[in-house]
A and B are shown apart, each in its own frame.
Chain A
């Protein structure tokens, strides 16, 4: 699109004059089997308007019923964010007309969210820790998905018609709202990215969300305002909607800081509004004006009874919480003895859990890292998938490693064995058998190959006889070629030297 690009100030200059204040609303789609208020499947990517019941379409006469698993997920998220959990909380109706909202109101929570007053520590790459205060985490339902057809922009304005898919309508959402984040200074864009990454990691670790940002499982609205250095009062904020990748969060916050600074420098007040993020131009454009007086006519949802919690229930859920991601990382690095750089690479490659499982299955941390950071990562990159999605199980790695350690196969052959296993040819041992991949350990065929190689390169043979032992590599290479790699290179070397009567 041809967005009109606003004036921006350089980031450094903006930082000299202004302090940014951030605030985030992160929507997390839960991975419950069914929707928030109906028995329709909560599934991504199905044929439009198939995962719907009369409730999801808002047909006359329908009533919502709260998904108990979603409530438990909300409580778990609240606990993981160190929130207080409400003893009793209500759903509320947020009334507004929009065709992606079947009832023309969203069932949400208003005055009393299920979780409130929390905080999490966010660690930046250099180890700096920021504490982000959480105002609330509340339960609500997702809207349907609109696709605007025929317009230039893909937005509703100018579209000829719009298609609506209600499969997503009613998918359980937890909206996590921060308190204003002050004091991040020039680290604000980095903190923004790290905060959303942390939320994503927490909900994924809890197992309550698939946490795939590209599918909209985690969506971020980023609020930015600037105040002149030294001023207490917050400036007017803008809310950049649906910034849906970690990189985009960082860029959007940076851009808005620069744009605000330019606007404020020109003496113009900031317009309180929503902004749209454009990945292509890495800039935002004006959405709709938003004011605190937006009137959603909230009132308590009369079709639902309040959600009442109790200590026993909350403590049971707390006991079920997995180890927090940051603590887990510290523990694993210490257990595995990886250097900081090695561990960071493992985390960035997204194979930490896979290594953990593989170590648990019975190989050393070094071997597990060699596989996951080496061959498996290489294949994942080629296939453009996550390493964990290749179908390589910890047990498979253990078996491959055992075959290598026993000398049955070598590293090179192990890759062929992996090919065979992934192609469905059976267990590693079966693949070795079927493909005839075992290292040739019988000296007979090896000696035959060695004699062939020596005869093919008499000059090299002479050099070796003359004491140039390092030249043996060329003969080994010939043997390996002749045996299609199925020889143990060490044994081949020994045999060549024996054959030529030279000491190794």
Chain B
């Protein structure tokens, strides 16, 4: 069964189609793996054993009956616990939603169900997706399968770690400032933030509506493309969702092509603050792409240096409003304080007890930034920076078909290392945030291990809005070139996980 869980989603789907393995066997193998290692990883907040096996059994029966099935039917998947699911709890990693069950499915979950993909469970995250380490989860941190003392990235550390630890072949994440890509980078997995509007946000618990995007997490570029095609497309429930067709992403990943493409190295996303081992692996990737016939050009995005600051005004502003609904009145936690329980006191006590420090920090920041008299200086200025970043991207894409950078400036840091220094934590997203600010798609894939610590390094590819296919086309080539140098997938080099039971 060990081989089964090491298969890519694509390979598993072929074995399922050929009836070499059943969906129940595959699902059970992953459930067994979760049982074996998740005690050490803590990637899952909820394991959906019964339903997953039921769905898998249904797929097996349908296949026996000769029904037409989606290629990913029977391929299990984990879902970030920020995405609502009927029949399973959804916590957003917060005490304030402890025990809450959604009466409706997110659009992406409906699509998973339509494709008949067994949902293994809900994965851990920083509370309301606020963080870069998954340490801000109210349910304990997730650990990095490469080194259990290190963070798996965040906010989607649970999804990335689950995929890296072979607890799931695929997972869904959400990416507001890098929450899919940065965990992908530090766990040696692939993560994609689609074009803003490319995947419906309906049912993704909002942190910052204008930045949030659901996307795939996987072990290969092709697997992300397969999942992206399942979840993408217009949704009438999301006014910001694009009406464009999803595009031939799987085809782009299968063909893979960089010859004659111009790949732009973003001058501002390297150098100071970037770990030496990260830059070494990054430059090796550039060499590989060049050798495969790509033209490597340097582009400048001078306003990217303001991206982090602007992000930390826009994101908390929107979050302060999006999180106002958690007040103990309609759902979730309700704390009734001693004394006369007025509505203000119940709301206050509920929010005081239900939200963690990082969430409170951002609510306060955002409330301040939107306040009369400060709005123009903070939120208003930040929106202007956003326009400038969009212009930087537009100019860069005049010179290059795709852009490239390290996904994160460092490899995985130690648990607790940056907990007391929010600014240092925020800096880990410096390379991923610009894509969210401009709505452009980004993909992170493993670029090897840093020499100094032996931990995974992520390479980020960025494409113009609606050109997600380019990410897969280039990503697939770089992936195969890198794997040729490693003699197999990077995750084959990951250590055995012990003490998981």
Contacts and interface: CB of A to CB of B under 8 A. Distances in A.
A95 B209 contact: no
B97 interface: yes
B365 to A, nearest CB: 13
B321 A303 contact: no
B347 A61 contact: no
A157 to B, nearest CB: 9
B60 interface: no
A95 B330 contact: no
A299 B370 contact: yes
A61 B206 contact: yes
B364 to A, nearest CB: 13
Interface residues of B, number: 43
Given A95-B321, A99-B329, A61 B84 contact: yes
B23 interface: no
B484 interface: no
B92 A60 contact: yes
A261 to B, nearest CB: 32
B238 A63 contact: yes
A304 B239 contact: yes
Contacts of B475: none
A66 B103 CA distance: 22
In this complex, the member of B83, B201, B238, B343 whose beta carbon has the largest number of chain A beta carbons within 10 angstroms is B343
Contacts of B317: 299
B282 to A, nearest CB: 33
B397 interface: no
A295 interface: yes
Contacts, number: 101
Interface string A155-190: 010000010100000000000000000000000000
A156 B92 CA distance: 32
A477 interface: no
Contacts of B106: 61
A105 interface: yes
A103 interface: yes
A63 B239 contact: yes
A97 interface: yes
Contacts of A103: 324-325
A487 to B, nearest CB: 69
Given A97-B347, A104-B327, A297-B370, A63 B102 contact: no
A76 interface: no
Interface of B is mostly: loop
Interface in B215-255: 236-240
Contacts of A129: none
Interface string A263-305: 0000000000000000000000000000001010111001111
Contacts of B486: none
A299 B103 contact: no
A60 B101 CA distance: 10
Given A162-B343, A299-B370, A61 B325 contact: no
A64 B84 CA distance: 16
Contact of A95 (B206, B329, B331, B370): B370
Candidate in B90, B92, B318 with the most chain A CB atoms within 10 angstroms = B318
Contacts of B205: 60-61
A159 to B, nearest CB: 10
Interface string B187-207: 000000000000001111110
A6 to B, nearest CB: 28
Interface stretch (A51-59, A231-239, A247-255, A490-498): A51-59
B399 interface: no
B327 A97 contact: yes
Given A60-B97, A299-B375, A102 B239 contact: no
A62 B238 CA distance: 9
A295 to B, nearest CB: 5
Contact of A59 (B320, B331, B375, B379): B331
Q: Choose among B205, B321, B372 the residue with the greatest number of A CB atoms under 10 Å from its CB.
A: B321
Contacts of B208: 302
B204 to A, nearest CB: 6
B426 interface: no
B202 A62 contact: yes
A297 B367 contact: yes
Given A95-B321, A99-B343, A63 B329 contact: no
Contacts of B324: 95, 97, 103-105
Given A61-B203, A63-B239, A162-B343, A102 B321 contact: no
A302 B106 CA distance: 19
Contacts of B102: 54, 59-61
A299 B319 CA distance: 12
A299 B331 CA distance: 26
Most chain B CB within a 10 A radius of its CB, from A54, A162, A164, A303: A303
A65 B100 CA distance: 25
5 contacts: A57-B330, A60-B100, A61-B102, A65-B236, A297-B320
Interface of A: 54, 57-66, 93, 95, 97, 99, 102-105, 156, 162, 164, 293, 295, 297-299, 302-305
Given A63-B240, A293-B372, 4 more contacts: A58-B325, A61-B106, A61-B203, A305-B240
Q: Which 4 A-B pairs have the closest CB atoms?
A: A104-B324, A302-B210, A302-B209, A297-B370
Interface of B: 83-84, 90, 92, 97, 100, 102-104, 106, 201-206, 208-210, 236-240, 317-318, 320-321, 324-325, 327, 329-331, 343-344, 347, 367, 370-372, 375, 379
